[in-house]
Structure 1
């Protein structure tokens, strides 16, 4: 009987010691596991926040960075060719052809000295003079001589090696689309590069 009570007492003491020793360890393990999840969750939140912050910063930076304004240089080749052709026709006494061609050459010569295509951050605008003043209303179709790139449907430059006409169609003037033709009295390569960059590539033309 005494032996049985002694054994029971030892078992109880051992169980109590195990609870005392293992208890805090178990609590520490639980706390360690809990805090580990908390730390991981915090790290995940921090990473996601950084990604969002970087994305927002990138978008804002793109909006703040504006494209440089491009103004192609004047090119006098077309008016000079027309005036030369007119002089040749005068020489052979073909006045009916020489007069209109000569007048057209003089008009384009005058326009070359004053008209400029201005490619700013959002639109193509026709301006006049060295101070790039506004050209006013379009005398043919009305409205301001300024068209946003987003309204362009298509455009072409004829002909690539010696560009004579630039054509484009836009939906800003009217919803069904408005066609414009301009003589290329500007540097053809600069004009083409600006049109490609701001309005998208042309499929069939471009200086070589």
Structure 2
């Protein structure tokens, strides 16, 4: 949650003026709604000041970030399975086996693995019910990293994202590197990471 304090002082000809609150909604296709709620402000003349000086009340503005889950993207597993099929067709069975197995694995993972961007952290969850993914099998620790611990991140390659890389200091103070296949909508993934984790050196997917 973010808050800002605004104050203003004006001279008004009338004795009392009430300014109603203003609520504005902004809809983004990738990071949901951001709601600005400016509570009503009442301005009144004070008898202590000549000329009708007015003191505005303090206004609190709150901004809430919605939870974002990028849509699944099956392009990488489909490309790998197609490549494996090409190897089989040309009797290249040795490369066909690992490529085909990798394609099947990523196809399975695309149906179940979710990147969940909540208000303060990125978390890997499983299935439509968003179950906990448990400990990280490679580096240990929970598969949840606060945006404030991100050192840097990149999307490889922007026009056809294959890998997302990021480095964070939550798992290890000296920094821990992570690589994930982009089995999500690359544009959605890039936009929400820019918004939550800061800019990347790479340009966004086109």
TM-score (norm 2): 0.73
Structure having the higher strand fraction is 2
The counterpart of 2:86, out of the listed 88, 105, 118, is 88
1:66: Cα distance to partner?
2.0
Cα distance in 2 for residues equivalent to 1:93 and 1:100: 14
CA–CA separation in structure 1 for the residues paired with 2:199 and 2:171 = 22
CA deviations on 1:91-137 (whole Å, 9 max, x unpaired) are 11111110000000000000000000000100000001011111010
Which structure would you say has the larger Rg? 1
**Residue in structure 2 matched with residue 175 of structure 1 by the alignment:** 173
Question: Could you give the per-residue CA deviations for residues 43-81 of structure 1, whole angstroms, max 9, x where no partner exists?
Answer: 98x73xx4xx52xx42xx43xx32011100000000000
TM-score between the two structures when normalised by the length of structure 1 = 0.72
Q: For the residues of structure 2 that align with 1:206 and 1:137, how far apart are their CA atoms?
A: 31
Q: Deviations over 1:160-206 (max 9, x none)?
A: 11100000000111111100000000000000011011001112231
Which has the larger share of helix? 1
Q: Structure 1 residue 39 and structure 2 residue 48: aligned? A: yes
Within 5 A, what are the aligned runs for 1:27-66?
A: 39-40=48-49, 47=55, 50=56, 54=58, 57-58=59-60, 61-62=61-62, 65-66=63-64
1:75/1:185 contact within 8 Å kept: yes
Partner of 1:143: 141
Determine helix, strand or coil for the equivalent of 1:156: strand
Runs of 5+ consecutive residues of structure 2 not aligned to the other structure: 1-46
Runs of 4+ aligned residues of structure 1 deviating over 2 Å after TM superposition are 38-41
Kindly provide the CA deviation profile for residues 23-48 of structure 1, in whole angstroms up to 9, marking residues without a partner as x: xxxxxxxxxxxxxxx9349x98x73x
